Amino acid sequence: MTVTVERVKLVDVGPRDGLQNEKQPVDAAHKIELVHRLQAAGLREIEVTSYVSPKWVPQMADNAQVMAGIRREAGVRYSVLTPNLKGLEAALAAPREQWPDEIVVFGAASEAFSQRNINCSIEESIERFRPVVAAAQAQGIKVRCAISCALGCPYQGEVTPDEVERVVRLMKGIRVDHCGVADTIGVGTPRRVQAAMERALEHYPLAEVSGHFHDTYGQALANIYACLELGVSTFDASIAGLGGCPYAKGATGNVATEDVVYLLDGLGIDTGIDMARLVDAGAYISEVLGRAPASRAARALLAKR
């Protein structure tokens, strides 16, 4: 298959997926600065934080402070995770100019993961999301979903394309605008990823399907290439390869944004992202965390400076 995609939209999920998983506390000021550096590098979609229970994920307890602190740039879309109405209401309790442009409801293709991550069954999660989707859309806020464990589950093991499609249908049924297919534990390989993606593409148009790949087994770039072959052109990625899910033990970070941009630049696919500034953003947050960026491309480029 040849790749005909000419432009890719990258959503940097580092401030959320990345920093939700850090053991050490990260100040809101550093999170805000990271968002600023990502937008300065050309990112036009940034997943900033999540409105989840602080008992479950204390790292995101400063959500309102971070949303209030970011300096917004025209043309940048800022998204947040909202697992229930309480989360949406908290996000919308702020002045309107601090509202997210997009929210993410997150479900799973595996019952076991749904229970561990959001404390309810898949069916129950959809019933929780239904009023969230309607209330957000009534305010002109776009709704994306993440379908976790689409390629495998740390508790259930194998997950089939049929199981993925079941949840895609349910998300479509409650009018979620965009379908994100997530390999939470990074076990997918290209042909299996295509099989899962194809199920999403049976219900959503190409522009409304995206991939979210953790890189635990080093397959994320190959999986993105496999998605490009299908024409998918939106991907989540995380600056410096930060990330993981507190409820998916052993899962490493997301594919690093720098590595994806290096791949896409090499393929002649436009991302609108300035690699040097992106590497700076990754170096910044890595220094805050006291370690080198997990991105191979960033490390190679930093070594040449």
- Interface with ligand HMG (CB under 6 A), residue total 26
Verify binding: residue 50, ligand HMG, rule CB under 6 A.
Answer: yes
DSSP H or E run through 165? helix 161-173
The residue among 67, 78, 1, 18 whose CA lies nearest residue 43 is 78
Q: Closest approach of Cβ 8 to ligand HMG, in Å?
A: 19
Backbone angles phi, psi at 11, to 5 degrees: -105, 115
Q: Which three-class secondary structure state does DSSP give residue 129?
A: helix
Over the window 165 to 184, marking each residue x when it contacts ligand HMG by CB under 6 A and - when it does not, the resulting string is -----------------x-x
Instruction: For the chain, state the CA radius of gyration.
Output: 18
Contact 47, 16 (CB under 8 A): yes
Residue 146 binds ligand HMG (CB under 6 A): yes
The interface with Mg ion within residues 14-53 (CB under 5 A) comprises: 17
Q: How far is the CB of 2 from ligand HMG (least distance, A)?
A: 29
Cα-Cα end-to-end distance for the chain? 37
Quick one: which segment of 85-93, 135-143, 219-227, 271-279 binds ligand HMG (CB under 6 A)? Answer: 85-93
Q: Does 155 engage in binding with ligand HMG (CB under 6 A)?
A: no
**Closer to Mg ion by Cβ: residue 82 or 301:** 82
Q: Shortest CA distance to 253 belongs to which of 210, 289, 200, 301?
A: 289
160 contacts which partner out of ligand HMG, Mg ion, none, CB within 5 to 8 A by kind?
none
Catalytic residue flag (residue 245): yes
DSSP 169-223: HHHHHTT-SEEEEEETTS---HHHHHHHHHHHHTTS-GGGEEEEEB-TTS-HHHH
Minimal distance in Å, beta carbon 300 to ligand HMG? 26
Candidates 37, 192, 199, 212: give the one binding ligand HMG (CB under 6 A): 212
Could you say whether residue 87 binds ligand HMG (CB under 6 A)? yes
Rounded to a whole number of angstroms, the minimum distance from the CB of residue 13 to ligand HMG is 7
Pairwise CA distance, residues 81 & 251, whole Å: 19
Q: Kindly tell me which of 235 and 283 has the beta carbon lying closer to ligand HMG.
A: 235
Q: Which of residues 269-288 bind Mg ion (CB under 5 A)?
A: none
| Biggest alpha carbon–alpha carbon distance for the chain | 52
Contact indicator for 149, 108 with CB cutoff of 8 Å: yes
Buried b (16+ CB within 10 A) or exposed e, 133-150: bebbeeeebbbbbbbbbb
Tokens encoding 168? 């895609």
Which residue in 78, 106, 129, 235 binds ligand HMG (CB under 6 A)? 106
Minimum distance from residue 268 beta carbon to ligand HMG (Å): 29
Segment near ligand HMG (CB under 6 A), from 48-56, 67-75, 137-145, 289-297?
Answer: 48-56
Residues with Cβ within 8 Å of 93's Cβ and at least 6 positions away in sequence, in order, are 64
Active site residues: 245
Which residues lie near ligand HMG (CB under 6 A)?
Answer: 17, 20, 50-53, 56-57, 81, 83-84, 86-87, 90, 106, 117-119, 146, 148, 182, 184, 212, 214, 245, 247
Which residues lie near Mg ion (CB under 5 A)?
Answer: 17
